[in-house]
Amino acid sequence: MKVRGLPLLASMLVILFHGLAPAQNPKPVILTANATFQQELAASPTTMGPSGGVGVAILVLSADRSKVDFWATFVGLSTPVSAAHFHDPANFGTNAGVKRNVCGAGGLPPCSEATIFNGTWSRTDTTQPLTDADVTALLAGQVYFNIHTMTNGGGEIRGQVIPISSK
């Protein structure tokens, strides 16, 4: 009985501990975007281009997935910035709706005066809060950063936001 029972007990313990083992703790995730005119969809009727402007963005998604801290800047745009946003969910070559303004709202500087965009996109924001869908899109590389200007209202430079560290 003992000889036959012990393997069974061992098997049950293995199952029990596998069942109870916590999922591996998520880590903060670093994401970056390189924004260029070439990533804008040429079909956008209000994008006049071409533009030699470029931009960069760095984002950090917190380990608990409750917020994203972001920093972004740009050079060489044709005209002042009229709006800047994160959009999702979209892969390269497709567009999606605005999910987060990064200037001109929520205590952020007016877009036309901004030379750097920084802020926090949080679950608790009263407008445009970070959602589960946004987090899923971020981790899948399906968020893009878009800077719109006076001459290129449809977007002058765009950068796909890509996770560069492990989850």
Distance in Å, CB of 89 to Cu ion, minimum: 14
Q: Residue 65 or 85: which CB sits closer to Cu ion?
A: 85
- By the criterion CB under 5 A, which residues form the site for Cu ion? 85, 146
Q: How many helices (H) and strands (E) does the chain have?
A: 2, 8
Distance in Å, CB of 25 to Cu ion, minimum: 34
Distance in Å, CB of 72 to Cu ion, minimum: 13
Q: Residue 146 or 152: which CB sits closer to Cu ion?
A: 146
Q: Please identify the residue of the shown chain whose CB is closest to the bound Cu ion.
A: 85
Contacts of 16 (CB under 8 A, 6+ apart): none
d(CA 106, CA 125): 9
Contact criterion met (CB below 8 Å) for 46 and 157: no
d(CA 52, CA 65): 35
Q: Residue 28 or 96: which CB sits closer to Cu ion?
A: 96
